[in-house]
Copies of this chain bind each other. A is one copy, B any other.
Amino acid sequence: MSYKLSDKYRNLKPSAVREILKATNEPGMIAFAGGSPAVEAFPCEEVRKLSAEILAEDPVSALVYGVSEGYEPLRQQVSQWLKRRENVGGDNDSVIITAGGTQVMDIATRILASEGDTIICEEPSFIGSLNCFRSHGCKLAGVPIDDDGMNIAALKKVVESNPGAKFIYTIPNFQNPGGTTLSLKKRREMYEIARENNLVIVEDNPYGNLRVEGSDVPSIKSMDTDGIVLYAGSFSKILAPGIRVAYAVVPKPMAGAFTIGKQVSDVHTGVLNQMIVSRWFDEYDVDEHIENIKKIYLRKRNLMCDALDKYCGERLKYVKPQGGLFIWARLTEKIDMLEYVGKLIERRVAVVPGTAFMTDDTAPCAYIRLNFSTPSDEDIVKGVKIMGEILNEYEDRK
């Protein structure tokens, strides 16, 4: 090959999670490494019915080109639903449909950042988003998280030392991988810091609807009187991820650029996919569906936490997440995390090494990320038991 890859791609590595996801497809592997919502929560029968109706009644609409902003009825439904449910969006915002939540991060980066620019993010943070930012040639400035989300004193320092930074990327609810939720006080502080420093906030909220305990915290977007918050939500976790329908709530001054970003990315999101979600709103009670699937998530979270407490105890510390899909657990004893992950894979348990979520993925890290939504109830107990057994082996060697 005589050509060269672009500078920004030459040194990129594929997402470790997605590479590990491939391994989790191996037969017999217990999948704590995934990020898929619980398959038993998918409304399969509803999607089958809705899809059949659309393709019987209005197949041409489902198969022709759509507009880049999204299927208009769905845009309006999402807009009204978000306003009612989360007080998000208003006359100064535009709801734009995307092909999954990652595309919101991708388009936000295109329209706000250039190669070499800095993006401020939680550390740890979602590897998919970090890799997206990296793929645009952006630098990452990580801010550590406490049990109640981003450390605000550290954020101030990072903002000061990165004067040209373009935006703050945050997952305020049941952070991936941290599991933490940003407190209301910290949301207000973060908004003020952004406002004072001409920073946009990209608020990524794929898990917010999956709260199984405690009370909802108002989103940062609901405080956005200045039009500086670009909000992302998704149907991946409440309907199904394979359908690839998500949404961005974009301040109007950015909406034109965002729409161009969507046009040049993939023209528009699949129309059948959008019509399925739109009819889902028409014919079913989406809020009721969410309440129903929360029961599954509560059960699975409790199952994994109870198993962790029983089999791993103090040797694996974590903050019990009030929702979402993940537990972020720290090895408290002097165990090499990557070696431990390797031993787990040998025993057919796949977890994600915490390094994957760091801005510098070569630095030492004692964390692993566990997902409780993908594995079956049986596998949750079985896998955590194996995790404990391997910890015991370390114990025995002492």
Kindly state the separation between the CA atoms of A83 and B66 in the bound complex, as whole angstroms: 31
Instruction: List B contacts of A270 (CB < 8 A).
Output: 99, 242-244, 270, 273
Checking B48, B62, B64 against A56 with a beta-carbon cut-off of 8 angstroms, the contacting residue is B48
A228 at interface, CB cutoff 8 A: yes
B263 touches A9 (CB 8 A): no
Nearest B residue to A48 via CB reads B55
Instruction: List B contacts of A117 (CB < 8 A).
Output: 6
Instruction: List B contacts of A257 (CB < 8 A).
Output: 5, 9, 12
Checking B15, B55, B228 against A2 with a beta-carbon cut-off of 8 angstroms, the contacting residue is B228
Known: A15-B263, A135-B264. A48 touches B52 (CB 8 A): yes
A193 at interface, CB cutoff 8 A: no
A223 at interface, CB cutoff 8 A: no
Known: A14-B256, A100-B267, A102-B267. A66 touches B242 (CB 8 A): yes
B198 touches A3 (CB 8 A): yes
Known: A48-B52, A102-B267, A270-B273. A135 touches B114 (CB 8 A): no
Nearest B residue to A242 via CB reads B271
Per-residue B-contact encoding for A306-334, CB less than 8 Å = 1, 0 else: 00000000000000000000000000000
Kindly state the separation between the CA atoms of A251 and B67 in the bound complex, as whole angstroms: 32
A263 touches B3 (CB 8 A): no
Known: A102-B267, A265-B265. A114 touches B6 (CB 8 A): yes
A172 at interface, CB cutoff 8 A: no
B8 touches A114 (CB 8 A): yes
Pick out which of these stretches binds chain B: A103-111, A152-160, A286-294, A360-368: A103-111
Instruction: List B contacts of A68 (CB < 8 A).
Output: 18
Instruction: List B contacts of A268 (CB < 8 A).
Output: 244
Could you write out 8 A-B pairs with CB less than 8 Å apart?
A: A5-B254, A6-B114, A8-B114, A52-B52, A52-B55, A62-B242, A102-B264, A102-B266
Q: A14-B260, A65-B241, A244-B268 are in contact. List 12 more A-B contacts (CB 8 A).
A: A1-B251, A5-B257, A36-B64, A44-B55, A48-B56, A52-B55, A63-B240, A99-B244, A102-B267, A243-B272, A244-B270, A270-B270
Q: Which 9 pairs across A and B sit closest by C-beta, in order of nearness?
A: A63-B240, A242-B271, A44-B59, A48-B55, A132-B264, A63-B242, A244-B270, A135-B264, A2-B198
